[in-house]
């Protein structure tokens, strides 16, 4: 499948990156039912933001994509009212698309 050379010079298999992205996608998807069920969705979102920010530092050439993803994720924190749920859901779906 090939390798990706990270900004620190370490080469890792593309499959490892793909597996990590799949795990992140699953975690983003879980934010929807967590919010709908009144569970804590903010702490998992904070963790995801840190992971994406870390990935952005390691993988060159994807600055615009990572910036857009991080902006959308940070914006979710402002959507706390019940009336915001439709927009929250739409942004989660957009994030899933971007991460794919």
pLDDT of residue 90: 98
- Residues present in the chain in total: 100
Token representation of residue 97? 């698309």
User: CA-CA distance, 25 to 6, in Å (whole number)?
Assistant: 21
Question: How many distinct structural domains can be found in the chain?
Answer: 1
- Give the per-residue pLDDT at 96: 97
* Residue 61 confidence (pLDDT): 85
pLDDT at 7: 84
Distance CA 32, CA 76 (A): 11
pLDDT of residue 8: 82
Task: Tell me the average confidence (pLDDT) per consecutive run of 10 residues in the chain, 100 residues long.
Answer: 84 91 97 96 98 92 93 97 96 96
| pTM listed for this prediction | 0.90
Residue range of the domain that includes 45: 3-99
pLDDT of residue 95: 98
């Amino acid at each position: 499948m090939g390798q990706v050379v990270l900004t620190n010079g370490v080469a890792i298999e593309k499959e490892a990156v793909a597996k990590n992205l799949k795990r992140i996608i699953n975690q983003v998807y879980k934010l929807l039912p967590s919010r709908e069920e009144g569970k804590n969705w903010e702490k998992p979102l904070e963790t995801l933001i840190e992971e994406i920010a870390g990935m952005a530092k390691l993988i060159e050439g994807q600055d615009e994509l990572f910036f857009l993803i991080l902006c959308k994720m940070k914006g979710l924190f402002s959507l706390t009212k019940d009336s915001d749920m439709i927009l929250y859901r739409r942004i989660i779906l957009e994030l899933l698309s971007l991460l794919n």
